[in-house]
């Protein structure tokens, strides 16, 4: 589990971008208490959390909402398990004292360790005051449970170490192994985007293309050392955690399932990507967008002296290949933005293909290409196979409805059959992702154990609840 980081050339600010595995995992575990607010990306992790016992959920809430910021490591570790081993090796009293010192430093007005440990009401009030929009709310029971634990170092130590170990093994270990190759590919791209900036706020905007929350901006303005941590579980959001020496700023890239895929880029998809790069006009458009955060179609047309039909054709080719994203600016006007991480991933896929490290699976063409609506045809090849996952939810739903229509009415499917059918109708080889999206969009339904699936609105051939 490699820890990669890139120092940035700045004489006034110590800042870098990193994977920071221990902090990264810790942040993901904290997100499990606020998946709606912070858009936890992984449906698999969310489903795993639903399987926790009530006691485990209560422990998770207490540890991460009450003690989480104080548990965040102050230095980088090669892996999260090594950090947990370090915590396990610490004397219980030393771990408790570290947590208390950090908690006291975050109180306002300042509390001494003796005051914090001796006054459960004051401790609970401090926790409630830090919760957004809850300053007048009554303190929940877990705040008093956390205070009781702080006064019982051995029990505190055992609960933290055991819970972190269980959550890593059950929730994050497979996720980290799956996401690591993509994270390692994206990290140099992030470093490149930050390199030209000199202020932390500008660096974060260069990374994410959106304005940071006010709470993060405030912390960035007073941080002597900043580490920007690329999270595979966040999207369109940033959050910060302060330790003694470092402000850790976690950020996610816009949703783009192909960047987090489980499988290699297949030959057919790779050809779609490379054909776009072989076109001179497409390259000029990519070059122009790389120098600008976002441009309207009219601006691109004027700067490159292109006709409207010529520009539209090339923009659509680049959108289909995944290199740029589009959004409506009002009416029929559209603007475009480069996805540099996707460009980097394409060349990594090409290197792996040429080196024989990836064996792209052949995707059989459907026997009879279906009629494609204009909405879906932008994301499909001539055989009707979806070549790219759209960035806009409206387009995603159009693709999902198209895929749902591939399922026969009145028939139950096993999970394996669902994956096989979806594998026939898309080219990036991640049927599990599409299966979950169809279920979340209420286009497919399933039995509670996930053994059988059927198209929503169609009469199943047997009782689905019976798993037949």
217 and 235 belong to one structural domain = yes
More confident call, 90 vs 340: 90
- pTM for this predicted structure: 0.63
82 and 182 belong to one structural domain = yes
Confidence at residue 46, expressed as pLDDT on a 0 to 100 scale? 67
Q: How confident is the model over 338-371, as pLDDT tens digits? A: 877 778 778 877 877 887 765 444 444 455 456 7
21 and 58 belong to one structural domain = yes
80-89 and 21-31 helices cross at what angle (nearest 10)?
90
The answer to whether position 300 is within a domain reads yes
The answer to whether position 369 is within a domain reads no
Burial 128-137 (b: 16+ CB within 10 A, else e): beeeeeeeee
Report whether pLDDT(129) > 80: no
Report the length, in residues, of the chain. Answer: 468
187 and 207 belong to one structural domain = yes
The answer to whether position 364 is within a domain reads no
Q: Are strands 247-251 and 225-230 parallel, antiparallel or unpaired?
A: parallel
- In which residue are the tokens 């399987």 written? 51
58 and 148 belong to one structural domain = yes
228 and 345 belong to one structural domain = no
435: which 2 tokens? 């299966």
β-strand partners of 325: 337
Kindly give, in sequence order, each residue whose CB lies less than 8 Å from that of residue 145, ignoring residues fewer than 6 positions away.
58, 62
H or E stretch covering 333? strand 333-338
153-167 and 92-105 helices cross at what angle (nearest 10)?
90
Report whether pLDDT(330) > 80: no
Q: How confident is the model over 236-259, as pLDDT tens digits? A: 678 899 898 899 999 987 655 555
The answer to whether position 202 is within a domain reads yes
How far is residue 150 from each of residues 73, 129, 163, 287, 365, measured CA to CA in Å? 18, 19, 16, 56, 62
The answer to whether position 362 is within a domain reads no
Distance, CA of 437 to CA of 416 (rounded, Å): 16
Cis peptide before 220 (omega within 30 of 0): no
Sheet holding 412-414, edge to edge: 412-414, 452-455, 444-446
> By residue range, what is the domain housing residue 62?
5-251
> Percent of the chain beyond pLDDT 70?
82
Residue that finishes a domain, picked among 226, 251, 276: 251
The answer to whether position 326 is within a domain reads yes
Distance, CA of 253 to CA of 209 (rounded, Å): 9
Full DSSP string of 395-429: HHHHHHHHHHTTSPTT-EEEHHHHHHHHHHSBSS-
Q: Grade residue 4 by pLDDT with cuts at 50, 70 and 90.
A: very low
Q: Please enumerate, as own/partner, the contacts of 211-219 that have beta carbons within 8 Å and a separation of 24 or more.
A: 212/238, 213/237, 213/238, 213/239, 215/240, 216/240, 216/249, 219/247, 219/249
């Amino acid at each position: 589990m490699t820890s990669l980081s890139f120092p940035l050339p700045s004489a006034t600010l110590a800042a870098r971008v990193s994977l920071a595995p221990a902090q990264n995992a810790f942040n993901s575990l904290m997100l499990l208490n606020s998946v709606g607010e912070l858009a936890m990306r992984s449906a698999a992790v969310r489903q795993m959390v639903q399987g926790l016992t009530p006691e485990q959920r209560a422990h998770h809430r207490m540890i991460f909402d009450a003690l989480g910021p104080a548990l965040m490591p102050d230095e980088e570790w090669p892996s999260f398990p090594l950090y947990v081993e370090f915590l396990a090796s610490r004397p219980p009293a030393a771990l408790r004292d570290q947590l208390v010192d950090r908690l006291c430093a975050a109180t306002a007005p300042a509390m001494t360790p003796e005051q914090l440990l001796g006054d459960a009401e004051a401790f609970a009030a401090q926790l409630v005051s830090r919760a957004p929009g809850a300053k007048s709310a009554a303190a929940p029971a877990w705040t008093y449970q956390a205070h009781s634990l702080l006064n019982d170092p051995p029990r505190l130590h055992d609960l933290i170490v055991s819970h972190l170990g269980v959550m890593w093994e059950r929730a994050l270990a497979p996720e980290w192994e799956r996401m690591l190759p993509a994270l390692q590919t994206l990290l140099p791209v992030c470093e490149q985007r930050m390199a030209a900036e000199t202020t932390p706020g500008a660096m974060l905007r260069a990374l994410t293309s959106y304005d940071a929350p006010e709470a993060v901006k405030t912390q960035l303005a007073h941080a002597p050392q900043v580490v920007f941590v690329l999270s595979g579980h966040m999207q369109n959001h940033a959050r910060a955690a302060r330790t003694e020496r470092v402000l850790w700023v976690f950020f996610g890239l816009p949703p783009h399932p192909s960047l987090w895929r489980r499988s290699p880029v297949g030959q057919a998809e790779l050809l779609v990507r490379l054909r776009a790069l072989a076109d001179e006009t497409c390259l000029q458009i990519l070059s122009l967008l790389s120098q600008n955060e976002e441009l309207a179609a009219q601006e691109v047309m004027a700067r490159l002296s292109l006709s409207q039909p010529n520009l539209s054709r090339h923009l659509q080719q680049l959108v289909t290949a995944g290199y740029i994203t589009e959004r409506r600016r009002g009416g029929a006007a559209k603007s475009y933005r480069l996805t540099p991480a996707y460009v980097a991933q394409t060349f990594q896929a090409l290197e792996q293909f040429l080196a024989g490290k990836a064996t792209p699976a052949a995707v059989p063409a459907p026997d009879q290409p279906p009629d494609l609506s204009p909405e879906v045809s932008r994301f499909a090849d001539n055989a009707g196979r979806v070549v790219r996952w759209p960035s806009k939810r409206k387009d995603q739903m159009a693709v999902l409805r198209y895929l749902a229509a591939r399922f026969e009415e009145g028939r139950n499917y096993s999970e394996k059959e669902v994956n096989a059918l979806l594998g026939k109708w898309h080219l990036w080889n991640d049927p599990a992702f599409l299966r979950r999206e169809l279920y979340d969009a209420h286009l497919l339904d399933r039995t509670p154990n996930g053994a059988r699936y059927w198209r929503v609105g169609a009469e199943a051939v047997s009782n689905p609840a019976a798993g037949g």
